[in-house]
Amino acid sequence: MISKKLLKALGDQLNAEFYSAYLYLAMSAEMDNAGFKGFANWLYVQAQEERAHAAHMFQYIVDRGAVPSFGPIEGIKGDFSTPVKVFDRVLKHEQNVTKSLNSIATIAQAENDHATYQFVMWYVNEQVEEEDNADEYLTRLKLSEGNISAIYNLDTILAARVFVDPFAGAAQA
């Protein structure tokens, strides 16, 4: 059985994954509206990934014999009018997600809940890639600011991203 403290932390993270999906959808809509179809696509795929994370977390909680809590999902606020502003927010958001996941890993370790520790470490390791991608795109955007050809090139690159369910084929309860 999972402890109340760990269940709360996982439930909060489950809600945070849904918030992340909302955030990326909001950003995607703004980028699409601004004519940046590639950025919009990358963000939409990111939202799909966050929903997959939420479903995976939900299933883990249920598999451990618990019921997750579902709190309200905060509304999305922010200036998403340019790709630089969007990826600045993406990077900061992913850094906050990393802190949250690290906290869950620390709680799981302290409680000797090896299953939850192992479970959350997949996410901790995934965050290295998430932060690296956000940082790379933000850096490219800052370097190319004012150079529409460079921004268009990055937009074209991001248009090629497709959603791949990271948990496809994983055992389900």
Question: What's the pTM value of the predicted model, to 2 decimals?
Answer: 0.93
CATH superfamily of 4-69+77-159: Ferritin, core subunit, four-helix bundle (1.20.1260.10)
**What's the whole-number mean pLDDT along residues 142-154?**
91
Transcribe 131-167 into DSSP letters.
HHHHHHHHHHHHHHTT-HHHHHHHHHHHHT-----TT
pLDDT value, residue 74: 92
Q: Stretch 12-17: mean pLDDT, rounded?
A: 97
pLDDT value at residue 173: 43
pLDDT of the residue at 168: 87
Residue ranges per structural domain of the chain: 4-69+77-159
Instruction: Please state, in angstroms and as integers, the Cα–Cα distance from residue 49 to each residue in 62, 83, 86, following that order.
Output: 20, 20, 18
pLDDT tens readout for residues 71-108? 999 999 999 999 999 999 999 999 999 999 999 999 99
Exposure string for 81-91, b = 16+ CB within 10 A, e = fewer: ebbbbbbbbbb
Mean pLDDT score of the chain, rounded to an integer? 95
pLDDT of residue 48: 98
